[in-house]
Structure formats: C-alpha cells, structure tokens
Structure 1
Amino acid sequence: MLAPQRQAQILTDLQSSGGVRVSDLVRKLGVSDMTIRRDLEALARRGLLEKVHGGATLPVQPVSEEPGFVAKSARELQEKDSIGRAAARLVEPGATVAISAGTTTWALAKHLGTVPGLTVVTNSVPVADALSAAEASDRTVILTGGVRTPSNGLVGSVAVASLRSLHVDVVFMGVHGMDERAGLTTPNLAEADTNRAMIESGRRLVVVADHTKWGTVALARFAQVDDIDVVVSDRRLPGRAVEVLGEAAEVVLAGSEDADAGTSGADGVAEGVS
C-alpha cells in the first residue's frame, strides 16, 4: 500500500471514530510503527489531524472560524462533484429551487446546465455565475443581494427580506457543520439568519454535504437534523451519521460511480423534486 493510500485509510478511520491509535494502525495496515508515525506527521502538517500520545484525533476548529471560498473549494473535490451530480438528479424540469452559498452547492449548480425551465433563487455569487454560464435561454436566476461573506455568500437583512417574499419547491443547502446534537451550523451569525429564511421559503430541504462535515460544530445553528428531507453525501460518510440521518431523512450516498449510489431511509431516493 502506497503512502497516499495509507493516509486516506487513516483519515477514513479517523472520521468514523474521532481518533486512531498507532498500534491499531500498525496491525491493520501491516506496516511499521515508524511508517505510521510518518504518515500521521504528514497529515498533521496539512492540518487534517492532531497528533496525540500514541495516536491522533480530529483537529478542533474554533466554532467561529470561517474559511474563504477559495480555500474550501480545494477540499474534497471528487466528493463534492459526485454529490453535486447526484443532487442534480433530484431536480425536475420546470422546478423552482433555492440554492445556498457554499462550494458543494456550487458543484451542484455546475450540474444543472441540462435541466430545462429552471427558476433558481440563490444568495451565492459563484452559484449564480455557474448557472448564468450554462447555455439555457429558459432559465431564470434570482440573486438575493446582501452583504458578502468570506464564503462568497450574500447575507443580512436584504437577503433575508428577499427570501421571505419568495416560495420555492425545494431548498438545496450547504453546511459548515452537521452534528447529531448541534444540528446544521455555520460560523457566521448573519449567514445563519439567511439560511433560516431560505429554508422557510421551501417545501423541502435537501442538504448537500461531504463526509467531513459530520461531527463539525460551528457557532450558530440554523436547523435541526429533523428538519432535513434528503441528505446527499459521499460514501465515506460515517456509519453513525448514516444511521442518525436515516431516521429523519432519505440519505443518498454518491461516489465516483454514483449512478448506483447507495441510499437509506424509509422512502428510498426521490426521483425528482418539484
């Protein structure tokens, strides 16, 4: 097993359990103690874990930390693209949808180019740009306006007022964090208010979030897990997350071959939303 493969497995185990031991990784991966420690050191330098005595844990981020759009857009590229492609399949021609700010929702927007007759409400400049770039004369894009955040979202009173005057079929929501107890969270208070208003404008809520968002808790909660109708994530989503989310919502797990993506939940996967 090559170093990148070992390190990917270490991160998968870390996301599932929250912590790993050097001794367990030595047995599981069949390499030396020194090799594992070098892998942990390499991952720690990238900020992907924190080394502790005898192993490593997930890094603890300040609840108010808000990475910029460019920084976030470089993370989990394959997963976000697969999630965006799978989520786009839930959109029927002629639907009216709202799309929140975020890099995963941006990935979704890039897969909506072939869906005819869409009306899209968004508070994301990159999402609006991606939709406007697609060659579709029958598409309407409504940008809310507002104050721009580090994540390129438009938030605040102007955005909230715009959203409260509108009604959409389905809301596609990106999240900074998703947790069993804390719910859906963001480090930006104004963005939390804007997200609440967007959720209230829709009949259904679809959350698009890669596996790294599970267990992350930011400053402000804007929804509970029970508010979600569908979750679209990737196949590295921890089993506990699938279990918890599946009790409240349909769960779509997308992968590189997401045409046969796995699902859970009482009703399976919605073939479309409108």
Structure 2
Amino acid sequence: MSTETTSTKGGHARSTRQQRIVDHVLAAGSASATELVELTGVSLMTVHRDVDELVRRGLVRKYRGGVSAQPTSVFESHSEYRRTVRLAEKNAIADAAVALVEPGSSIVLDDSSTALTLVDRLPEVGPLTVVTNYLPALETLKTMPEVRLIALGGDYSRTHDSFGGIGCLEAIAAMSVDAAFVSTSSMTGSMTFHQEQEIVAVKRAMLDIATRRVLLMDSSKAPRRALHQLRPLSAFDDLVVDDGVPADLLEEMREHTRVTVASGKN
C-alpha cells in the first residue's frame, strides 16, 4: 500500500472520528475526555489532539476534563454546526422554495445551510446558472450536469466554509442574476439581521444584483435580533418559512412581503 493511500485513509478515519465527537457533544451538550475515549476507541492522547483541532475550528469548547458545545452567536455561525440543526424545517423550506426557481434562469446562493438544502433540489428544475461563494454548495453543484456553475472567490473563512472579502464583493458586483436565494441569522416581522458585518456585506451585494430576492428562514430565527441590520423585509419579493412561525408574526410579515409557509407534515 502506498504512503499516499495510507495517509488518505488515516485522514478519513480522523475526520470520521472527529465528526462522531462533534455529533455526540452537540447531542449531549458536553462530554468528558474519558467518555470520548470510550466513544471513539482511541487513546486519551488522540482524543486530546482531536479536541484541540475541533476547538481550533470553533466546533467545541474545551474546559478542565472535557468539552462542551453550548451554542453562542459565534458557534451558531459555524458552517458545520448550522448544517446539523433544524433539518426538518430546512427541508420543508427547500421543498417549497424550489418552485420559485425558474428553469433556464440564473441564481445566486449565499453561504447559508438553508440555501445548501435547496441545492439538492436543483436537478428537479433543469438547466440553470448558479453563482455561489459556499464551498459545500460548490462541491455538490459541480456534479450536476445541467448546472453552469460560477464560483465566487475571495478570502476563505474556515468558520463559514465560504469565500468573502473584497475579492468576493467585486466578483458579485460584476454580475446580474435572475434571483437570489439567501438566509440570515435572525429577523423580526419587518427587519432582517446578522451578527457579522462581513457576512452582511456579501449578502447585501448578492441581493443588489438580483431581479428577484427570496429569503429562506426557519422559525427558530424569528422573532430575534442581531447586531447588524441586513435589509428590511420589504426589500424581499418572497419569504419562505416553516409552519412553526406564530400566527401573529406571520400576519406582520405579510404586511411587508409575499409569504409562503412550508409544512413539513405529510
């Protein structure tokens, strides 16, 4: 067996083991080092190395004797965390939102986990041009033969698993698309928000180049606020939410935009 093959297999095993640790800590809220040794079947030293790597990536927090995953605004921004939560709601939203994607059109997708869920439905639509800065979306879209894929470059963020900065903003500004499908961290009945100004800048740029603007939001994000205002809800042509949004909040949202309520029930 070649050194390269051995290295690849070792890297895959480490990645799988670290994902098991993350999943366990997310589910339990915290775990001791001894517990993680029993979970993974590796040595205490290897567990400590794995935990140090996960801490560096922002997935867990280390404390004396163990790790925790109590979400904070920073932790909630992490791509790997966002892709593990509210899956039923995001799938319902994506099922409804795909009807808003026109065959033959051009669309831009942000680095949200909700937009990533929509990506899996795009083969149902037919030929499309898709523009995105989100690396997991790029990895999936590159396998779709009917998608013309345009990748937005710039500064890579390991936390968001996406590209941003001046290079990304300039690339977006040079384009024009039929529709933008975006999400954000929080909203009220009339305003959308995000806690990071760099992310706000990219989302605003994407909205500015789109003829139609579609907001995808699961019910856990409303009513909530964050540090930076993104855009008023009235700036969006469509809002797609799941059926967990309270009736009075839905009524307020409908005063500002067209609202589609996606039901996850059969």
Q: 1:251 to 1:216 in 2, by over 3 A?
A: same
Q: Quick check: 1:74 aligned with 2:56?
A: no
Counterpart pick for 2:131 among 121, 127, 137 = 121
Tell me how far apart the structure 2 counterparts of residues 253 and 100 of structure 1 sit (CA, whole Å).
Answer: 21
Matched-pair contact (CA < 8 Å) for 1:176–1:213: yes
Q: Equivalences for 1:1-274 in 2 at 5 Å? A: 66-134=76-144, 136=145, 138-149=146-157, 150-180=159-189, 183-257=191-265
Computed over aligned residues only, the root mean square deviation of the Cα atoms, in angstroms, reads: 2.2
Q: 1:256 to 1:223 in 2, by over 3 A?
A: same
Matched-pair contact (CA < 8 Å) for 1:210–1:233: yes
Shift of 1:241: 2.3
Shift of 1:219: 2.1
When the two structures are superposed, what TM-score results if normalisation uses the length of structure 1? 0.67
Tell me how far apart the structure 1 counterparts of residues 252 and 137 of structure 2 sit (CA, whole Å).
Answer: 30
Identity %: 25
Tell me how far apart the structure 1 counterparts of residues 74 and 225 of structure 2 sit (CA, whole Å).
Answer: 10
For residue 80 of structure 2, give the secondary structure of its aligned residue in structure 1: helix
Match of 1:56 in 2: none
Shift of 1:208: 0.5
Match of 2:40 in 1: none
For residue 133 of structure 1, give the secondary structure of its aligned residue in structure 2: coil
Aligned length: 199
Q: 1:123 to 1:241 in 2, by over 3 A?
A: farther
For residue 89 of structure 1, give the secondary structure of its aligned residue in structure 2: helix
Tell me how far apart the structure 1 counterparts of residues 241 and 189 of structure 2 sit (CA, whole Å).
Answer: 15
Question: Structure 1: any 5+ residue segments left out of the alignment?
Answer: 1-44, 48-60, 259-274
Return structure 1 stretches of 4+ with deviation > 4 angstroms: 61-66
Matched-pair contact (CA < 8 Å) for 1:163–1:201: yes
